[in-house]
Structure 1
């Protein structure tokens, strides 16, 4: 009668996942995968070591802005979940380039999932569309994401790695830092009047984390997927809904000229893009059943 395998041997057989950019969404993924994967989390902050270890990950100290610190990443992971944003300036994502160079040094991963943004499409005039629409970024922030997507797709083709790009809109959750409209509503910040308003898209943080997990096993090679809920709300209607659910006054409505005097350039950039995203790939390819298909459910969670 053969001896039972030791706990160490069982652990060694688990697939190995590297999470890059293990913030709120990464921690949610850790909770979903704990015990099923061997997980390492890259962080540039030594003060996060205990938090990451308590969440079930092996902390790896390294900085995407300092490529020389990334040598330990080569050859370790079967899969990579890339959640780190680009640096704050330029049209290229130097952080993704540094990561891919480190991964390419030895035994590249078989799978890589990247959380991009729906901002890669630019302004679509409120049109409804799927992932076949060409990208047309209008800000440097979005151009860096397009650069990252291009580099990742090249890496996948060159190294036989299945790359799935998750294009993610506004993320919300009551327990996510800055992820609920309450503070903005309580401060009385305005929204656009209906005739000037734009369509926005949303996803609850828990549904995004679940999509990340499913993409690690079901994502198709070199494929983009919209990770959004089923809503099609104008931005002002979203904040009106949140106000009603929270028992707060609805935000004041202003025209674009007044908004330009009241809002930051970053806030105004979000008011210049209007789109409605189709999410059929999310449901048919990743087979995600949304827990919060409408913000009316997620805002109360």
Structure 2
């Protein structure tokens, strides 16, 4: 592996999780280039101190191509669309030609497993996506693993659970008065704090032979209404009333999440990647977010 002070990182799709990674581990890299689909998004990345590039999945600018040419690490956080993976489509040739590349990380989702009727799944469980969105993810994972084999570089797939963290949690929803306790008997979800995602990606860079698929989830699958109730109690707020799932007004995408019920094991994350979760259950995560909101207030 390249020495830390000589590492050069390119991030495709520098959103919530990738920006948190930069905030926590950016000092490990000599340079960091990141992409956004819009000029406004790129300007926000520049404001964060990053070298930013507008990239919509069609072609690379000369500046982005130059960054790829000297990259040692690439983190892909851009979701696939109808035309497939936008990074491979628009930057595949530049990545193929990159002579210093040694690691690729792809942020995927545990949604590729589909429904397990509340049972446990692991990285050895074959994907069984239930919708077009999940199928695209499986195809993108396969394409990135094939690229890594062809290129002779490590490619790791990080399957993320439901992401929460500062600015994106039941704490903010309760403060805004928008939190709802949807109740679907037997339904559970895994979650993952954004800081633990960053730690998993950092660990993957140090242990590139682990995987290639790694579930990045917390230890305790839990009912969504329990998380809202715990956050309300922690904040000293009334617990929102139960809303039966069958009668709840939800967007088609939100309702589709509830069609998948599973418990996702994180054994590989803990034992092989050796990640000690900062927030092993939603309780630690919510408690930290409540403390943070009080301190900021």
Q: Same fold (TM over 0.5)?
A: yes
Whether 2:109 is the aligned partner of 1:117: answer: yes
Mapped to 1, the partners of 2:197 and 2:187 lie a distance apart of 23
- Aligned residue in 2 for 1:79: 73
Question: What SS does structure 2 have at the residue aligned with 1:42?
Answer: strand
- 1:288 partnered with 2:275: yes
Native 8 Å contact 1:166 1:224 kept in 2: yes
1:238 shift after superposition: 2.1
Unaligned 5+ segments in structure 2 are 289-297
Structure-1 residue corresponding to 2:51: 58
3-state SS in 1 of match to 2:156: strand
Q: Which runs of 5+ in 1 are unaligned?
A: 1-10
Q: Deviations over 1:148-196 (max 9, x none)?
A: 10100110111101001000011111x23xx111354422534024x3x
- The Cα offsets for residues 14-54 of structure 1, whole Å up to 9 and x where unpaired, read as 11111112222222222233333122222333345564345
Counterpart of 1:267 in structure 2 is 254
Say which one has the larger Rg.
1
Q: For residues 200-238 of structure 1, give each alpha carbon's deviation from its aligned partner in whole angstroms, at most 9, with x where no partner exists.
A: 011111111111111112132661101111112122222
1:256: Cα distance to partner? 4.0
Partner of 1:220: 209
Aligned-CA RMSD value: 2.4
The question of whether the paired residues in 1 share the 8 Å contact of 2:170 and 2:227 is answered with no
Question: Matches of 1:145 and 1:71 in 2, distance apart?
Answer: 25
Shift of 1:117: 0.3
Aligned with residue 149 of structure 2, among 130, 154, 157: 157
Task: Identify the range of structure 1 (43-52 vs 218-227) with the bigger mean alpha-carbon deviation.
Answer: 43-52
Q: Is the 8 A contact 1:172 1:205 kept in 2?
A: yes
TM-score (norm 1): 0.84
Query: Residue in 2 aligned with 1:46?
Result: 39
Give the secondary structure class of the aligned counterpart of 2:57. Answer: coil
